[in-house]
Chain A
Amino acid sequence: MYSLKLILKNTFRHKLRTFLTMMGIVVALLAFGLLRTVITTWYGMVDAASASRLVTRNSISLIFPLPISYYEKIRHVDGVKSVTYGTWFGGIYIDAKHFFANEALEPKGFLDLYPEYVLRPDQKNAFILDRKGFIAGRKLVEKYGWKTGDTVTLKGTIFPGNWDFVMRGIYSGRTRNTEESAFIFHWDYLNETLKKTAPRRADQAGFYIIGLTDPNRAAEVSLAIDGMFRNSMAETITETEKAFHLGFLAMSEAILVAIRMLSMVVILIIMVVMANTMVMTARERMGEYAVFKTLGFGGGYIAGLILGESLLICLAGCMIAVVLTYPVADIFAAALSDFFPVFVVSRTTIYLDIAASVFVAVVAAVVPARRAMTLTIAQGLRRIG
């Protein structure tokens, strides 16, 4: 363990330099972790989606609705266990800066189909009974301080006017990946109001959500539903909820690619900084390495010392970064809660942190290690004094 002690002492010879290098690694890995978490969060929203639920929408695009009469027809398709429906509302709360998802849904079917939304039974009943009621996710309620019985007003954008709702319940997510920032109210309330104010737009649903008797029959049932509505005024596209969310993701692919590339750039930056440190450190110690060689140690041993020091600095920095990543991610999540309702650091990200540290350590040690190995004793001794 003499060698390990040597490596340890060498590393802390230049306390300031080692400290600065470690700080650089910490900063870089934090950035890397945050970037990766942005990507995993985006994909996480897909993961949270189910492969055993289907989404049926208008084949032209999402902005076109489907007739409510489709409900009965879909219900009777073989393989369909339950159906629910809803419409994206897109209302504004106070002003456009406060963005959160708000939808008009058929409540009973929806809550049955989404067991991951956990609601107290008394709140669930209160919600179902009050047509003007709404439920909201825990995070959203915490942010705005709403209490059961409060009236909240949304300004409609797609459906104009000021819409009042009464809070009837708070839902929480069963898993860490389930979002808790949505606002859900009765489709009936939307529809009844439309019948009076804009009858042309009434009796329509933005989408249908279907529960399957057997998840393996997803493809078959999708085709059956779409086949039923082919050549009608509103043709449909039915796909698994997962595929539906993936589709969205694909539309913002360019951004995700950019973020992935940025996460690699940050690793490059730290590699450059680390390599610089190791090159400088090794250069200063050339004389000592020559002395080692005179004592009989081979070039490989010295390369090992350099690599050991590089690894020590990188892994120490990595450890600190990993510990800090969680609280920093929380701060980030709070600041960007509008864009990312869920922001959880995954374990894979941590593993990648470690892998990146090792990779950087090795690459940074290459040039100085090679120099040390090919150094002749005479050259090295000349460097002293």
Chain B
Amino acid sequence: MGIPYSYSLRNLRTRLLTTTLTAAGMALVVFVFASVLMLSEGLRQTLTATGSYDNVVLIRKSSVSEVQSGVERGQASLLEIQPEVASGPDGRPMLAKEVVVLISLPKRDSGKPSNVTIRGIGKGSLSLRPQVTLAQGRMPRPGSWEIVTGGSIARRFRGAGLGETLRFAMRDWRVVGIFDAGNTGFNSELWGDADQLMQAFNRPVYSSVIFRMRDPSEFQAFRDRIVSDPRLTVEPKREIRYYEEQSEMMSKFLNILGLSLSIIFSLGATIGAMITMYAAVATRTSEIGTLRALGFGRGSILTAFLLEALFLSLIGGLLGLFFASFMQLITVSTLNFQTFSELAFSFSLNSRIVVASLMFSLFMGFVGGFLPAVRAARMNIVEALRTG
């Protein structure tokens, strides 16, 4: 049996200020690391929740998003009669032809404008998105200048609340309802009648067509046929994949920036741990000599000090995670570089992130504690006993 672990643990308690400071440094790094992962996960969740595996989105070939795309009425009608489109309970195809544009609206708090997505919907649009439910008020009447706003927009932007009016395209649009789309991207959108919006913006073409597949496994065959049809200039994507692509650039940016920062920060905390452990070894030189004299091998000494560093980093990691978990209360709203429109998402913690953060923390402790532990293990017994 080796040196009991209580030796490592209690030594942390002896120099409380040092232990606290070192653990605090690690906690800060783990906080950043976990927050970045949580933000990335929150973004991913928002965007994948936004799409449905059973739905297909069709936009113009080579367009990156609905905003850039144009689907002519003729093509849209052709798509309506495709066999893969599921039929609703009323016998009609579960398909919607939508127009999507960006408008600039001022935020409530700062007055600064931001681009907001406005979606012209058809009768089938709401039922295609089970994640979206009407929270207050009602849906806009077809043919009217009424709109509904997503919860996030209603909160954040002037004139977007229930009963308020927004002015754009030379008309006043009344907000007759607010919908709740959970944490999906739809929460950052305004919806109105497609035909009215197309008229107001002088846009005679749709942006996209969305429908529910009668059998999701038919997607690939459907795609191959549509893409090679010379009458059509559209490209189908699974809705889930479409929204994933929208966030790729943003995700990549967050991940690169966040992770490279975490690594740099971790260097600082690891150095802190190294300094602390070297000092611990130096202070306890005669103890090390005694333990070796009593018969404990070099391996036991190495393990005891390494364990001390690992306990230290574990404390730091748990502390960092604790504070990071509070980030879940914050919602981030920013411009999505790819779609150019406002997107709101939040931090999301899951067990994978907890594990990753703790492993990261322990890794820091291991790296920081290794060399000092080796130094302790390599000491010559006689010299160590001579000190102190």
Give chain A's interface residues, CB within 8 Å of chain B: 16-17, 20-21, 23-24, 27-28, 30-31, 35, 38, 59-64, 90, 92, 96, 99, 155-158, 160-161, 200, 231, 233, 235, 237, 247-248, 250-255, 258-259, 262, 265-266, 268-270, 272-273, 275-277, 279-280, 336, 339, 367
A27 touches B21 (CB 8 A): no
CA distance A17 to B253 in the complex (A): 36
Q: How far is the CB of A109 from chain B (nearest CB, A)?
A: 26
B32 touches A61 (CB 8 A): no
CA distance A280 to B278 in the complex (A): 11
Residues of B110-158 at the interface with A, using a CB-CB cut-off of 8 Å, are 110, 112-115
Partner of B17, one of A28, A156, A252, A279: A279
CA distance A63 to B17 in the complex (A): 58
Known contacts A61-B101, A61-B115, A262-B261: does B275 contact A276 (CB below 8 Å)?
A: yes
Complex interface: chain A residues within 8 A of B113 (CB): 247, 250
Complex interface: chain A residues within 8 A of B275 (CB): 17, 20-21, 24, 273, 276-277, 280
Complex interface: chain B residues within 8 A of A252 (CB): 334-335
B63 touches A31 (CB 8 A): no
B9 at interface (Cβ–Cβ under 8 A)? no
Complex interface: chain B residues within 8 A of A270 (CB): 268
B102 touches A63 (CB 8 A): yes
Q: How far is the CB of A265 from chain B (nearest CB, A)?
A: 6
B201 touches A64 (CB 8 A): yes
B101 touches A63 (CB 8 A): yes
A-B contact pairs, 21 of them (CB 8 A): A16-B278, A24-B272, A27-B271, A60-B101, A60-B169, A60-B201, A62-B104, A63-B102, A90-B68, A99-B249, A157-B62, A200-B204, A252-B335, A268-B28, A269-B25, A269-B272, A273-B271, A273-B275, A276-B22, A276-B272, A279-B17
Complex interface: chain A residues within 8 A of B94 (CB): none
Q: How far is the CB of B26 from chain A (nearest CB, A)?
A: 9
Mask, B266-293, CB within 8 Å of A = 1, is: 0111011011101100000000000000
Complex interface: chain A residues within 8 A of B233 (CB): 160
B64 at interface (Cβ–Cβ under 8 A)? yes
Residues of B303-322 at the interface with A, using a CB-CB cut-off of 8 Å, are none
CA distance A273 to B275 in the complex (A): 9
Mask, B170-193, CB within 8 Å of A = 1, is: 100000000000000000000000
B68 touches A24 (CB 8 A): no
A251 touches B63 (CB 8 A): no
Partner of A61, one of B104, B279, B333: B104
Chain B, Cβ-Cβ closest to A16: B278
B61 at interface (Cβ–Cβ under 8 A)? yes
B104 touches A250 (CB 8 A): no
Most buried by B among A24, A35, A247, A339: A24
CA distance A61 to B28 in the complex (A): 41
A276 touches B18 (CB 8 A): yes
Mask, B23-38, CB within 8 Å of A = 1, is: 0110011011000000
B28 touches A269 (CB 8 A): yes
B170 touches A235 (CB 8 A): yes
Chain A, Cβ-Cβ closest to B65: A157
CA distance A21 to B269 in the complex (A): 11
Complex interface: chain B residues within 8 A of A99 (CB): 249
Complex interface: chain B residues within 8 A of A96 (CB): 64
B342 at interface (Cβ–Cβ under 8 A)? yes
Most buried by B among A24, A61, A99: A61
Q: How far is the CB of A286 from chain B (nearest CB, A)?
A: 13
Chain A, Cβ-Cβ closest to B200: A60
B6 at interface (Cβ–Cβ under 8 A)? no
Partner of B279, one of A27, A62, A280, A339: A280
Complex interface: chain B residues within 8 A of A265 (CB): 28, 31-32, 265
Q: How far is the CB of B316 from chain A (nearest CB, A)?
A: 10
Known contacts A17-B275, A27-B267, A273-B271: does B112 contact A250 (CB below 8 Å)?
A: yes
Complex interface: chain A residues within 8 A of B28 (CB): 265, 268-269, 272
Complex interface: chain A residues within 8 A of B67 (CB): 63
Q: How far is the CB of A102 from chain B (nearest CB, A)?
A: 14
B269 touches A273 (CB 8 A): yes
Most buried by B among A59, A96, A231, A262: A262
Known contacts A61-B102, A62-B102, A266-B265: does B114 contact A251 (CB below 8 Å)?
A: yes
B101 touches A27 (CB 8 A): no
B334 touches A254 (CB 8 A): yes
Q: How far is the CB of A11 from chain B (nearest CB, A)?
A: 14
CA distance A35 to B32 in the complex (A): 14
B276 touches A160 (CB 8 A): no
A250 touches B170 (CB 8 A): no
Most buried by A among B21, B113, B201: B21
Q: How far is the CB of A266 from chain B (nearest CB, A)?
A: 6
Partner of B68, one of A158, A231, A254, A280: A158
CA distance A62 to B60 in the complex (A): 20
Chain A, Cβ-Cβ closest to B264: A31
Complex interface: chain A residues within 8 A of B335 (CB): 248, 251-252
Complex interface: chain A residues within 8 A of B256 (CB): 336
CA distance A38 to B274 in the complex (A): 30
Q: How far is the CB of B330 from chain A (nearest CB, A)?
A: 10
CA distance A258 to B32 in the complex (A): 11
Q: How far is the CB of B227 from chain A (nearest CB, A)?
A: 14
Complex interface: chain B residues within 8 A of A90 (CB): 64, 68
Known contacts A20-B275, A24-B271: does B101 contact A64 (CB below 8 Å)?
A: yes
